[in-house]
Amino acid sequence: MTQDPDHHDSLGGMYSDYFLDYASYVILERAVPHLNDGLKPVQRRILHAMEELDDGRYNKVAGIVGNTMNYHPHGDQSIGAAIVQLGQKDLLIDTQGNWGNTLTGDGAAAPRYIEARLTKFAKDVVFNPKTTKWLPSYDGRRKEPDTLPVKFPLLLAQGVEGIAVGLACKVLPHNFIELIDA
């Protein structure tokens, strides 16, 4: 934002400032993954919520969505869709039920019918509370990770696609074995 006090006197100045604020928010807080852990904020919050619920058993996705809403204020539909996308990649989430098929375009069953839990890989590679930087959640009631201390290039393994204001990213998924060898 500019320091000129007369800048907001014009409608153009207001649009300029508010557009830049909104664009920065969408880029940093919604659409584009963080380079450190390769996760978008909703994905990071889902994994954190799943780690909180983790007792080794499967949880209904509807319950995971509800727990994630403690950290992600953007609605249950976006959280459910993000869980399905993570689950369909078969890397971090162990799935049970009809999760749809990305090849045929079939959608997943409703969140109340499908279940998920963290994979052993996710538990071993994604989490370390001692090295995680914690931030207050959107309402200040809980703490959520700024980024997760991932020990593996998730951004390359999973691939990602995101569209933000004036910015887009698309990284195709890379071969898991080739990433390990590299």
Among this protein's residues, is 71 annotated catalytic? no
Q: Which CATH number does the domain housing residue 143 bear?
A: 3.90.199.10
pLDDT at 137: 94
Per-residue pLDDT tens for 59-81? Answer: 999 999 999 999 988 889 999 99
For the ranges 4-8, 116-120, 169-173, 178-182, the maximum mean pLDDT occurs at 116-120
**Mean pLDDT calculated for residue range 23-41:** 80
Q: How many domains does the chain have?
A: 1
What is the residue-wise DSSP string for 158-177?
A: H-EEEEETTEEEEE----HH
β pairing state of 115-118 and 93-96: antiparallel
| Residue 50 neighbours by CB under 8 Å, 6+ apart | 59, 64, 67, 93, 116, 117, 118
pLDDT at 31: 73
Answer yes or no: is 26 within a domain: no
| Residue 16 neighbours by CB under 8 Å, 6+ apart | none
Q: Which domain holds residue 146?
A: 32-181
Phi, psi of 116 (to 5 degrees): -155, 160
Residues in the chain: 182
Answer yes or no: is 93 within a domain: yes
Q: 1-5, 113-117, 133-137, 177-181: lowest mean pLDDT where?
A: 1-5
pLDDT at 17: 79
135 forms bridges with which residues in the sheet? 144
Smallest Cα–Cα separation from 48: which of 109, 110, 114, 137? 137
User: pLDDT > 70: what percent of the chain?
Assistant: 93
**Using 50, 70 and 90 to split pLDDT, how confident is the model at 85?**
very high
Answer yes or no: is 23 within a domain: no
Find out whether 32 and 159 touch, Cβ atoms under 8 Å. Answer: no
Is the pLDDT at 5 greater than 70? The verdict is no
**Mean pLDDT calculated for residue range 100-117:** 95
Catalytic residue among 22, 25, 113, 138: 113
pLDDT at 61: 98
Find out whether 50 and 64 touch, Cβ atoms under 8 Å. Answer: yes
Answer yes or no: is 155 within a domain: yes
pLDDT at 168: 80
Answer yes or no: is 11 within a domain: no
Answer yes or no: is 10 within a domain: no
Residue 113 CB-half CA count within 13 A: 8
Answer yes or no: is 21 within a domain: no
Answer yes or no: is 19 within a domain: no
